[in-house]
Amino acid sequence: MILEGETLIPANRRIVWKALNDPEMLRACIPGCKSLDRQSDTDFTASVRAAIGPISATFGAKITLSEIEPDRGYTISGEGKGGAAGFARGKARVDLEDETGGTRLRYNADVNVGGKLAQVGSRLIQGTAKKLSEEFFGCLSEKLSGASAPDKAAPPSAPAVAPGRWLVWGALAIVVVIVLGWWIAG
């Protein structure tokens, strides 16, 4: 299934970049996110607790970056196992552009799901992924508009990350949202 979307993040690149370098902020904005860790330059793991009705489980995802074009975009492959809830495999292309009023982020994801997610969640996937993406971007935008106030511009605990790394985190967050959106739909 193909999922597409875009969003305008209402902050200039410097502020967005700094904020997105803060794993705490991403953790706060990805619905149900418990952890989000970098294993290497291109490998990440994420863990999300989700509960929908009687289904409740911790989902673990492994995410790999490839086709990295600095400052322009990435391809992200994600694979996650949700135990009894099933699994999801996704691949997303993420592209960034400067735009008046902020930064335009476009994503195009191809995701396959299996197990319970596919069996009972197929009809809900598109809608749930959309809803979760909106939640994520809404949260991010909200935090960034707050952050654009002069004194809050620099997150105090941001780790020292090479320039351009924010994209990794941002894109990663999108894939996690999309991929886990399917689980939660299950």
Partner 1 sequence: MKAIEDFTLIGKTVLRREDSYLMRGKAQFLDDLPEPKGLIHLAFVLSPYACADILSVDASAAKALPGVIDVLTGKDLVGDIKTFAPVIEIEGYRDVRRPVVAVDRVNFVGEYVAVILAESPYVAQDALDLVEVDYDPLPAVAGIEEAEAAGAPVIHSHLGDNHIFRAAFETEDFDARFAEGDLVLEEEFRNGKTAGGMIEPRGCMAWPDPVATNFTLWTPTQIPHIVRTAIADHLDIPESVLRVVAPAVGGGFGTKAHVFPDELIVVALARRYGRAVKWVQDRRESLLTNMHARGHILHIKVSVKQDGTLCGVYLNLKTNCGAYPNHPYSPTLEATGCARMLPGPYRFQTYRYDVSSLITNTCPTGAKRGTGQPSAFLAIEGMMDRIGRRLGIDPAEVRRRNTVRPEEFPYVNVVGVRYDTGSYLPSLERGLEMIGYDAFRAAQPKDRLVNGKYRGIGICNYTEVSGTGAPGWRVRGFAKMPGFDSSRVVVEPDGKITVYVSQADAGQGHYTTFAQIAADRLGVACEDVTVVEGDTSKTPYGTGTFASRGSVVGGGTVIRCSEKVGVKIRRIAGYMLDADPERLVLKDGRVADPEDAGRSLSLREVAETAYSMNNLGLPQGEEHGLEATDYYDPPMVTMANGTHVVQVAVDPEDGRVEIERYAVVHDCGRVINPRIVEGQVHGATVQGIGEALMEEIVYDADGQHLNANLLDYLMPTAMDVPELELDHIETPSIDTVGGIKGAAEGGLTGAVPAIANAVGDALSGLGVNITRVPLRPSSVFEQIRRACTEKEGRA
What are the residues binding partner 1 (CB under 8 A)? 54, 56-57, 83-87, 112-116, 118-120, 122-123
Residue with Cβ nearer partner 1 (10 or 114)? 114
Residue 92 beta carbon to partner 1: minimum distance, rounded to whole angstroms: 19
Residue 87 beta carbon to partner 1: minimum distance, rounded to whole angstroms: 6
The partner residues of 64 in beta bridges, in order of sequence, read 43, 77
Residue with Cβ nearer partner 1 (94 or 113)? 113
Residue 47 tokens, joined: 């863990």
Residue 57 beta carbon to partner 1: minimum distance, rounded to whole angstroms: 5
Residue with Cβ nearer partner 1 (120 or 158)? 120
Of all helices (H) and strands (E), which one includes residue 178? helix 165-185
Q: Give the whole-angstrom CA distance, residue 146 versus residue 148.
A: 5
Q: Give the whole-angstrom CA distance, residue 104 versus residue 73.
A: 12
Alpha helices in 42-154 (DSSP H): 116-147
Residue with Cβ nearer partner 1 (86 or 181)? 86
Residue 52 beta carbon to partner 1: minimum distance, rounded to whole angstroms: 13
Residue 121 beta carbon to partner 1: minimum distance, rounded to whole angstroms: 9
Residue 90 tokens, joined: 């996704």
Residue with Cβ nearer partner 1 (8 or 120)? 120
Q: Is 85 in contact with 119 (CB distance < 8 Å)?
A: no
Burial of residue 36, with CB atoms counted within 10 A of its CB: 0-12 exposed, 13-18 middle, 19 or more buried: buried
